[in-house]
Amino acid sequence: MENKKTFGEKCAAFVRKDGVRSVIASLISILGGIAVGFIVLLLLAAFDSDVTFSQALKGILIVIKGPFSSGSADNMLFQIGNMLFEAAPLVMTGLSVAIAFKTGLFNIGAPGQYLMGAMGALVVALSLPTDTIPSWIVWILALLAGTLLGAVWGAIPGFFKAHFNVNEVIVCIMTNWIAANVVSWVFLDTDFINTPETKINFIKKTSSNGVATAKLGLDKIFEGSYMDISLIIASLVAIALYIMMNKTTFGYELKACGFNRNASKYAGMNEKRNILISMSIAGALAACGAALWVLNGSQDFKWNTYMSLPAEGFNGIPAALLASNNPIGVIFSSLFLKFLNKGGANLSAQTPFNEYVSQLIVAVIIYFSGFSKLFRDMLAKKLKGNEKRDGDSLKAKGGKKE
C-alpha cells in the first residue's frame, strides 16, 4: 500500500467490501487446509516406507484437481456428473444451516431432518401406485412429503427455543437420534426393504416404482453418472432464499430477530413465531435435500440408521460457514466440497494412500474452512492497522467523521 498509493487504495477499498472480504477469507482458509493436508501427506511419506515424497506431492495435486485427476476423459465426465448430482443435497443442507444462522440459531439438527425427509419421500414414492397416478405427480408429492416432514421435525427445536428458551443445539441433537430411530422403526419389517437376496440393509430404489427425478439428458452429457436436475432445483431454491432474506419484509424480520431478539420484540415483531418459522424452513430445506437424493431413483438408502447419522446433514455446516451463510455462496461451497471429495476418491485409487488418508485430507480442508470467520476478522483487523498507518493522509483529506 505504501509504494503504489492509488492502486493500493483501490485494492484496499475493494477488499474492504464485506462480500469480497468473505470470499478472500474463504480462499485463505482453503489454501491453509490444502497446506496442512500436504503436510499430513509429507509426514506419512516420511514415516511410511511404501510412500515416497514425490507421491505425496502427486497426492495433494490429485486432491486439489478433484474430478479432473480421474485419468480418462470418460471417467472425468462421469465423476463431474456425480459431483454435480451429489452437490444438490449438500446445497440444501448448507442452506438449512445458513438460514438458521441468519436468524441467530445453530441448526445442528440437519442430519435428523435429512433422515425424516428421506423417509417421507421414500414412503410416498414407493407406496403410491404409479399405474393410476402419473409418476411425475408422485415425484412431486414425494418431494413435498419429505420436505413437509422435515419442516415439522425442524419446528420441534424451534418451538422449544421460542417458548421455553431451551438451547436449540441440545434439542437438535436429541431430535437427530430420535429421527434415526424413528426411521429404522418405521421401515423395520416392511415391504419397503429390498428382498433378502439383494441388499437387505437398503430400501428399494424409487425407480422400482417408476419414480425418478427428471434428467433432461444431463445423464447423457455426463455419461454413466447419476446426474439429474436436482442441482438446478437446489440452485433455484438458493436464489429464492437469497431474495427472501435480502429483499422481503419477512427476511428483514428474520435477520433482525437473529441479530437482536430484544430489539425485534421491541419493534413489535413476533420473535417467537420467527424462530419457529426459521427452524421449520431450515428443517424443510435439509429434508428436501434428502428427498432430492433418494428420488434420483438410483440411490440406495440404508434404512437401519439408528447407529449413525448421515454425513450430508453435518456437512451442511462447513458448506454454510465456507459461504459465510450467503445462500448463493452455498451453491459454490457445496460444489467445492464435493469437488474435493472426488479428488479424495482419486487419491486412494491412484496412489498408495488409502481411502482413510484421502478422507482425512478432505476433512482437514473442510476443518480449515470453518476458520473462514477467523480469517475474515483477521483481515478486517489488518485493514484497520493499515488505515491507522495511513492516518496522516486521512487527516489531509479531511476524512474525519463524527
Partner 1 sequence: MNTNTTNASAGKSPYVIEMRGITKIFPGIIANDDITLQLKKGEIHALLGENGAGKSTLMSVLFGLYQPEKGEIYKNGEKVTINDPNDANALGIGMVHQHFKLVDVFTVLDNIILGVEPTKYGFLTKKEAREKVLRLSKTYGLNVDPDALVEDITVGMQQRTEILKMLYRENEILIFDEPTAVLTPQEITELMGIMKGLAKEGKSILFISHKLNEIMEVADRCTVLRKGKYIGTVDIADTDIERLSEMMVGREVHFTVDKDESKPGDVVLEVKDLTVKGHSHKKNAVNGVSLKVRKGEIVCVAGIDGNGQSEFISAITGLTKCEEGSVITLNGEDVTKKSIRYKNTHGMSHIPEDRHKHGLVLDYSLEQNLVLQRYFEKEFSHGGFIRFDKIRDYADVLIAEYDIRSGQGPVTPARSMSGGNQQKAIIARELDRPHDLLIAVQPTRGLDVGAIESIHKQIVSSRDAGAGVLLVSLELDEVMNLSDRILVMYEGEITGEFDPKKTTVQELGLYMAGAKRQNGRGEADGK
Catalog residues that contact partner 1 under the rule CB under 8 A.
247-250, 252-253, 255-256, 259-260, 262-270, 384, 387-388, 391, 394-395, 399-402
Q: Tell me if residue 299 falls in helix, strand or coil.
A: coil
CA distances from 174 to 49, 89, 101, 108, 113 (A): 45, 22, 19, 10, 12
Whole-angstrom distance, CA of residue 141 vs CA of residue 132:
14
The distance of closest approach from Cβ of residue 251 to partner 1 in the complex, given in angstroms and rounded to an integer, is 8
The distance of closest approach from Cβ of residue 13 to partner 1 in the complex, given in angstroms and rounded to an integer, is 12
The distance of closest approach from Cβ of residue 252 to partner 1 in the complex, given in angstroms and rounded to an integer, is 5
DSSP state of 165: -
Give yes or no for a contact between 334 and 87, defined as CB atoms under 8 angstroms apart: yes
Rg (CA), the chain: 23
**50 is written with which cell numbers?**
511404501
Q: CB neighbours of 373 closer than 8 A, spacing ≥ 6?
A: 25, 321, 324
The distance of closest approach from Cβ of residue 198 to partner 1 in the complex, given in angstroms and rounded to an integer, is 49
- Nearer to partner 1 among residue 217 and residue 268 (C-beta): 268
- Nearer to partner 1 among residue 270 and residue 348 (C-beta): 270
Q: Tell me if residue 37 falls in helix, strand or coil.
A: helix
- Nearer to partner 1 among residue 261 and residue 338 (C-beta): 261
301-302 and 202-203 strand pairing: antiparallel
Helices 73-102 and 327-350: crossing angle, nearest 10°? 140
The distance of closest approach from Cβ of residue 279 to partner 1 in the complex, given in angstroms and rounded to an integer, is 20
Residue from 369, 274, 234 nearest 242 by CA: 234
- Nearer to partner 1 among residue 260 and residue 359 (C-beta): 260
Name residue 326's amino acid.
N
- Nearer to partner 1 among residue 53 and residue 259 (C-beta): 259
Residue from 151, 27, 98 nearest 331 by CA: 98
DSSP state of 204: P
**363 is written with which cell numbers?**
476433512
- Nearer to partner 1 among residue 257 and residue 282 (C-beta): 257
- Nearer to partner 1 among residue 50 and residue 402 (C-beta): 402
- Nearer to partner 1 among residue 220 and residue 247 (C-beta): 247
**223 is written with which cell numbers?**
455419461
Q: CB neighbours of 352 closer than 8 A, spacing ≥ 6?
A: 48, 50, 51, 55
- Nearer to partner 1 among residue 220 and residue 381 (C-beta): 381
The distance of closest approach from Cβ of residue 101 to partner 1 in the complex, given in angstroms and rounded to an integer, is 13
The distance of closest approach from Cβ of residue 389 to partner 1 in the complex, given in angstroms and rounded to an integer, is 9
Whole-angstrom distance, CA of residue 161 vs CA of residue 165:
4
The distance of closest approach from Cβ of residue 274 to partner 1 in the complex, given in angstroms and rounded to an integer, is 13
The distance of closest approach from Cβ of residue 280 to partner 1 in the complex, given in angstroms and rounded to an integer, is 18
